[in-house]
Chain A
Amino acid sequence: MSQKVLLSSKEINIILHRLACQLLENHLDFKNTVLIGIQPRGIFVASRLAKILQEDYGVKKIDLGFLDITFYRDDFRRGEKTLEANKTKIDFLVEDRKVVFVDDVLYTGRSIRAALTAIQSFGRPLEIELLTLIDRRFSRHLPIQPNYRGRQVDAINGEKVKVMWEENDGEDVIYLVKT
């Protein structure tokens, strides 16, 4: 196994600021917009973005939620292991609001497919957009594309993108891992 650094802490920070600005351009004061981090790893990206938007760009209030998609996945009983759930925390209704799904890596698109179903339990959103920090090209199983992307990566199937966060893993860094 070998791994190389795809993005350093500094690069991640620049990208997050750019993504925050792109979100601002489309959603301005976030009055009718909610950010939904997809469990388990999208919550770090979503929390960072919410923090940047509030601290650096003066957005007063952002509705931030975490959505667990375990029970909506299409690979139940297909793997070896029981799928383990994470916490869903959405304390607001998404009815008639603009939803931005936030995830770290977009790969096959199946998680987002599951998230599209899962979010319906919280109302009928006005529209749904997708923001992803890393977009793995050429690996989609479904017709799903991001509206906002941090960095596009050409990774072949044996490779894995590993996103690490200071609050969870000790440092901000993204690796491309070859197995």
Chain B
Amino acid sequence: MGELSVKHLLGIKYLKESDIQLIFETADHFKEVINRSIKKVPSLRDITIANVFFENSTRTRLSFELAEKRLSADVINFSAAQSSVKKGETLIDTVNNILSMKVDMVVMRHPNPGAGIFLSKNVKASIVNAGDGAHEHPTQALLDSYSIREKLGDVAGKNVVIVGDILHSRVALSNIFALQLQGANVKVCGPKTLLPKHIESLGVTVETNLRKALNWCDVANMLRIQNERLDISYFPTTREYTQQFGVNRALLDSLDKEIVIMHPGPINRGVEITSDVADSKQSIILNQVENGVAIRMAVIYLLASKIK
């Protein structure tokens, strides 16, 4: 313990179990900090961070920006929509131009899987992956596990089901890696068309009956139906999806036990989960958002301490 085994946060796949524990312990301290009346610490006052977003984001970008500012880092924001990327500049050129303004760390979201890994090999800066296509979204998985740990005391030995569009979901993949690393049992549940063919090879079990999956689990992580990624029709209608894979109050009440409901946001209310479930005491959706800032502060703090 003491420091991370990696220089970049590219995916959960590259982390060790001890890294996750260190991030969680550091996040505990930052969670205390962000609940003070003065929520800021001066640790990163000599660090500059660029948030480079090639894909839309509200929550993740705000959460990263807030985390950076609460650590007193200087922050610049870049979104591809208003940039020279439109004029044909390559990724490496764009980032190197940003780095020549003396930036120490890049937080990047990109539609292509592996963009962060590519960047880390080609530019001199610490890279944090804020989502790369359908590949990984490591900070989301960390904050999800952290929220489970906070609610249930531990992640090890817990049964977690991830429900929805597993095929297009970076949140699902990162969560599978993170949960397994910590010793949880993972099941995925969704329409067969949205489950990757060889998903069992990751060591997860597959279930297409939502009620069975919910009866098995301690925690259900409900993914959003990502309409923007669904290029063809994977299920007949949204209404039919909701009937088979949506969680509502009646379904939760009919289970043998009280389970925890999570959602990475943004919620399609009435599709994956109904409003009364999203706003119920079983749901820890807003805790996830609060923990997101603490987790990102921890990740940035730990990575920044390795910049020489």
Query: What residues on A are CB-neighbors of B302 within 8 Å?
Result: 82
Do A85 and B304 touch (CB < 8 A)? Answer: no
Map CB proximity to A onto B6-44 as digits: 1 under 8 Å, 0 otherwise.
000000000000000000001001001100111111111
A43 to B125 CA separation, bound complex (whole angstroms): 38
Do A85 and B3 touch (CB < 8 A)? Answer: no
Chain B contact-residue range equals 20 to 34
Do B29 and A88 touch (CB < 8 A)? Answer: yes
Do B308 and A72 touch (CB < 8 A)? Answer: no
Query: What residues on A are CB-neighbors of B308 within 8 Å?
Result: 77
B306 at the interface (CB under 8 A from A): yes
Do B44 and A76 touch (CB < 8 A)? Answer: yes
A157 at the interface (CB under 8 A from B): no
Interface residues of A in 71-97 (CB under 8 A from B): 71-73, 76-77, 81-88
B153 at the interface (CB under 8 A from A): no
Which of A4-12, A21-29, A114-122, A168-176 makes up part of the contact surface?
A114-122
Query: What residues on A are CB-neighbors of B40 within 8 Å?
Result: 121
The smallest C-beta distance from A65 to any residue of chain B, in angstroms, reads 12
Do A76 and B305 touch (CB < 8 A)? Answer: yes
CB-contact partner of A82 in B3, B41, B44, B46, under 8 A:
B3
B92 at the interface (CB under 8 A from A): no
The smallest C-beta distance from A116 to any residue of chain B, in angstroms, reads 12
Query: What residues on A are CB-neighbors of B204 within 8 Å?
Result: none
The smallest C-beta distance from A125 to any residue of chain B, in angstroms, reads 13
Interface residues of B in 91-136 (CB under 8 A from A): none
Q: With contacts A118-B41, A121-B37 known, what are 16 further pairs, Cβ within 8 A?
A: A68-B29, A72-B41, A72-B43, A76-B43, A76-B44, A77-B46, A77-B308, A81-B2, A82-B2, A82-B4, A82-B305, A84-B2, A86-B29, A87-B32, A88-B29, A121-B40
The 9 closest A-B pairs by CB, nearest first: A71-B41, A82-B3, A121-B38, A82-B305, A85-B29, A71-B43, A121-B36, A76-B43, A88-B32
A-B contacts, 25 of them at CB < 8 A, read A70-B29, A71-B33, A71-B43, A71-B301, A72-B41, A72-B42, A76-B43, A76-B304, A77-B308, A82-B4, A82-B302, A82-B306, A84-B2, A85-B26, A85-B29, A87-B29, A87-B32, A88-B32, A117-B42, A121-B33, A121-B36, A121-B37, A122-B36, A122-B37, A123-B37
